[in-house]
Amino acid sequence: MSLLQLIARRLLQLIGVLAGISLVTFLLVHMAPGDPARLMAGERASPETIAAIRSQYGLDLPLWRQFLTYLTNLVSGDIGLSLRFQRPVSQLIEQFMWPTLFLTGYVLCLAIPPTVALAILGARRPGGIADQIIRLVGIAGLTIPVFWLGIMMSRFFGVSLGWFPVSGYGTGFAGHLHHLFLPALSTAIWLVPVLTQSLRAALIEKTTADFVTAARAQGATERQIFWQTMLPNAVLPTLNLLGVMVAFMIGGAIIVETVYAVPGLGTLMVNALLGRDYYVVQGLTLIFAVSTVLITLMVDLLTAFIDPRVRL
């Protein structure tokens, strides 16, 4: 099967997945305790006002009619109105999305080069001194809680040394880079060990692979063997892991964004939850689910691009 066919098939599957996601997010809000109409009207509203709000928002219609309305709105890009900000949720999400995406990209740039370097260093002599040190430091990086590391780093680099701002997003590309450095670094510190262990294990496994012996017998130098044969064959499990991590970061940058007061999706999520801003929560859930699906799709396509056997 060619790559194009694979993409077409995966996109078809995507339709079903999206329908499922929309149903789940819709039910999520309706299952949640509390009456949104009462919430909007305030504590001392009369039953008439509440009924009026109900019919205005269509909350008095049967569930399936509400879902249909929700679906048609979704298709036209309308995912509701924030009860708190009185602004369309899509606008809110768009506004808060860019810092999160920027942060995610930043983390990847900070994490991938050291991952590759450390994995190679460790896999070159498994159990050697370099490998042991990398593993120990990696475990330390994994075990330090992100919020504690975040607070410590912002105190030290931000307050004491004054090198980096401790909150906000900054203006302009350079400003973003400057402001988001500490949050990106604190995330990368736990991401690098996870990826390194995965890549290291795969590399070690491939050093004894038969096709590596065959390449050696054909006169390839160790450098050629590593870059042309071992690395491409070893990278796939790590790539899949990275996909999961990126999806997790887009949806789960809550701690880092809160600690460094980055105006991203994580911050928006926390505020919406605390303020019972149901439609924002619903919209965010939808966005997180869709982004996870899209990232998985991208990883799958990349995998298929690298490994022809996956295209079957």
Partner 1 sequence: MSGLETSKPPLLEVKDLSVSFGGFAAVKNVSFTLQPGEILGIVGESGSGKSVTCRAVMRLLAATARAEGTVALDGRDLLTLSEDELCAVRGRDIGMIFQNPASHLDPLRRIGQQVAAPMIRHLGIGKREGLQRAVKLLEDVGIYEPEKRARSYPHEFSGGMKQRAMIAAAIGCQPKLLIADEPTTALDVTVQARILELLKELNRKTGLAMILISHDLGVVADICSRVVVMRNGEVVEQGPIDDVINRPRHPYTRLLIESQPGRKSYGTAGGPDRGTPLLSVENLSVTFPAGQGLLGGFGSSNSFRALDGVDLEINTGETVGIVGESGSGKSTLARSIIRLNTPSGGAIRLDGQDVGALGGEALTAFRRRVQMVFQNPYDSLNPRMTIAEAVAEPIWRHGIADRKAARKEADALLEMVELPSSLRDRKPQQLSGGQCQRVGLARALALKPQLLIADEITSALDVTTQAQILELLVRLQRERSLTLLYISHDLAVVSSLCQRVYVFKAGRVVEQGVARQVLSAPRDPYTQALVGALARLPSAGTIPLHNRS
Q: Which is nearer to partner 1, 215 or 250 (CB)?
A: 215
Site map 22..61 versus partner 1, x via CB under 8 A: ----------------------------------------
Q: Which is nearer to partner 1, 6 or 142 (CB)?
A: 6
Query: Nearest approach, Cβ of 212 to partner 1 (angstroms)?
Result: 9
Q: Which is nearer to partner 1, 76 or 218 (CB)?
A: 218
Query: Nearest approach, Cβ of 52 to partner 1 (angstroms)?
Result: 46
Count residues binding partner 1 (CB under 8 A). 24
Scan residues 208-267 and list those touching partner 1 (CB under 8 A). Answer: 209-211, 213-222, 224, 229, 232-233
Q: Which is nearer to partner 1, 136 or 214 (CB)?
A: 214
Site map 176..195 versus partner 1, x via CB under 8 A: --------------------
H/E/C letters for each residue in the chain? CCHHHHHHHHHHHHHHHHHHHHHHHHHHHHHCCCCHHHHHHCCCCCHHHHHHHHHHHCCCCCHHHHHHHHHHHHHCCCCCECCCCCCEHHHHHHHHHHHHHHHHHHHHHHHHHHHHHHHHHHHHCCCCHHHHHHHHHHHHHHHCCHHHHHHHHHHHHHHHCCCCCCCCCCCHHHHHHHHCHHHHHHHHHHHHHHHHHHHHHHHHHHHCCHHHHHHHHCCCCHHHHHHHHHHHHHHHHHHHHHHHHHHHHHHHCHHHHHHCCCCCHHHHHHHHHHCCCHHHHHHHHHHHHHHHHHHHHHHHHHHHHHCHHHHC
Straight-line distance from the first to the last Cα atom of the chain, in angstroms, rounded to the nearest whole number: 6
Of the candidate residues 4, 12, 159, 174, the single one contacting partner 1 (CB under 8 A): 12
4 binds partner 1 (CB under 8 A): no
Q: Are 251 and 113 in contact (CB under 8 A)?
A: no
Q: Which is nearer to partner 1, 214 or 294 (CB)?
A: 214
306 binds partner 1 (CB under 8 A): yes
Query: Nearest approach, Cβ of 11 to partner 1 (angstroms)?
Result: 11
Q: Which is nearer to partner 1, 148 or 211 (CB)?
A: 211
Query: Nearest approach, Cβ of 87 to partner 1 (angstroms)?
Result: 39
Scan residues 134-163 and list those touching partner 1 (CB under 8 A). Answer: none
Which residues contribute to the site for partner 1 (CB under 8 A)? 9, 12-13, 209-211, 213-222, 224, 229, 232-233, 306-309
